[in-house]
Chain A
Amino acid sequence: AQTVTQSQPEMSVQEAETVTLSCTYDTSESDYYLFWYKQPPSRQMILVIRQEAYKQQNATENRFSVNFQKAAKSFSLKISDSQLGDAAMYFCAYSAAQGGSEKLVFGKGTKLTVNP
């Protein structure tokens, strides 16, 4: 079974600085997707960034970028120029690319605090 591990229950960063959230996963599949979701307090989960495992190039979305290391099964999220609105729970998630079940397997999350 696939598992996703986020080893940092909490992280903090100063406004305008850079922070990296860690994620490792375990799978025997060669083709899959990885995601970072953001869940602000009492608000709904939104997709931050996604990575297709077959792509070697790391995904980037504005201030958000990932470091995808397929051999190491590592998928970290870097947030540059942190803003107060980035404060939230961040979940790393895995989805198989085949088999008819695209369910997301989530890690336990990392709570990010942004200090002014």
Chain B
Amino acid sequence: EAGVAQSPRYKIIEKRQSVAFWCNPISGHATLYWYQQILGQGPKLLIQFQNNGVVDDSQLPKDRFSAERLKGVDSTLKIQPAKLEDSAVYLCASSFYYEQYFGPGTRLTVT
């Protein structure tokens, strides 16, 4: 079974630029999560989708972050404009029940 796919793996941008990350979950997994992992910390949930509906986006900085999940499969996370403090690894995960499977992450560096 293929795992959670993410791209790109690495991205370097300047502050105030925009960036987008893509995630393809495990086939059949209805729930998709985006986490932000700042260096030295545990991941923090940004947004959770159930199929193509948002379940929890309470910690998503909505003035600059947006996410969508078209047709309940792939998802994109966008940051516009980026700030220095957005430097982190962005992890995508999917689940069928309560067990989450993580992708390799996208490491974002904002200079």
Contact = CB atoms under 8 A, between A and B. Distances in A.
B25 interface: no
Interface residues of B, number: 25
Contact of B91 (A45, A101, A103): A45
A103 B48 contact: yes
A106 interface: yes
Contacts of A109: 40-42
Contact of A108 (B35, B41, B101, B105): B41
Contacts of B41: 108-109
Interface in B56-111: 56, 91, 93, 95, 98-105
A30 to B, nearest CB: 16
A104 B43 contact: yes
Contact of B98 (A46, A91, A102, A107): A102
Contact of B56 (A33, A95, A101, A108): A101
Interface in B23-49: 31, 33, 35, 40-45, 48
Contacts of B102: 37, 44-46
Contacts of B100: 47, 102, 104
A97 B42 contact: no
A43 B104 CA distance: 6
Contacts of B55: 100-101
27 contacts: A43-B104, A44-B102, A44-B105, A45-B91, A46-B102, A47-B100, A47-B101, A50-B99, A91-B42, A91-B43, A93-B42, A95-B98, A97-B98, A100-B50, A100-B55, A101-B48, A101-B55, A101-B56, A102-B95, A102-B100, A103-B33, A104-B93, A104-B100, A106-B42, A107-B42, A109-B41, A109-B42
Interface of A: 4, 33, 37, 43-47, 50, 91, 93, 95, 97, 100-109
Considering the complex of A and B, which 7 residue pairs feature the smallest CB-CB distances, nearest first? A106-B42, A45-B102, A103-B45, A44-B104, A101-B56, A91-B42, A102-B98
